[in-house]
Structure 1
Amino acid sequence: MTDARTTIDLPEGTSAGQVAGHLIETFEQEGIEIQDRETGPGYEQIKAKSPPSLLSWGEEIHVEITADEVKIASRSPSQKFDWGKSEDNVKKVKEEIREISQDSPDPVRV
């Protein structure tokens, strides 16, 4: 599989801007390049690219945050098989969002 995606609820008590800020900080620490960020009232969109590794040429990561939900997608556009890297990216983003609000459940709406 070369792509993975999921949608989760925005954690209670957080804003789209808080989640986006946390993810951008985390991406930069992980060496993930921020390619684009769009901001609007109650809306954030982040497009990023992970660096190449032994298993992949790098994946595109797309996060769209609204007042209610977070859509997360990762894909490896230059490979037919990404050795689970896209799924790992989606899981890591979900974990980072969970860290923002530990009290909040993680209902997934695929």
Structure 2
Amino acid sequence: MAKQTSNKSRTYARNRPVVSRRGLENVFEPDGVYLFKLIVVTLAGLMWVRMADPLVIGGVLPVGAFPVGALVALVLIAWLEHAQFNRKILYAVLVVVTIIGFFLDAGIII
């Protein structure tokens, strides 16, 4: 005699809400992925395009470097990162690393 199976489907994991009851986002991301994102943001913040001869804008403001990596990282963070809390952390890391990268000799010299 065949055993009768239940028609109940297991839907708890599929129907789990993105936002918890307290209003917090449920983010399930491996630690390695988050560490990889931090490393990429750190390296992008260090990428500056430096000029051998500074450009003078308006005869007053000399511009000797431009944070190309930081601008690319800003766009990628806003476009790819879905969790707001993670975006805030990545933005803060990017700003700090970009400021530190300005004083280091990291980047491409034109």
Task: Provide the TM-score with structure 2 as the length reference.
Answer: 0.27
Specify which structure has the higher proportion of helix. 2
Task: Provide the TM-score with structure 1 as the length reference.
Answer: 0.27
Specify which structure has the higher proportion of strand. 1
Q: Higher Cα Rg: structure 1 or 2? A: 2
Determine which structure has greater relative contact order: mean sequence separation of CA pairs < 8 Å that are 6+ residues apart, divided by chain length. 1
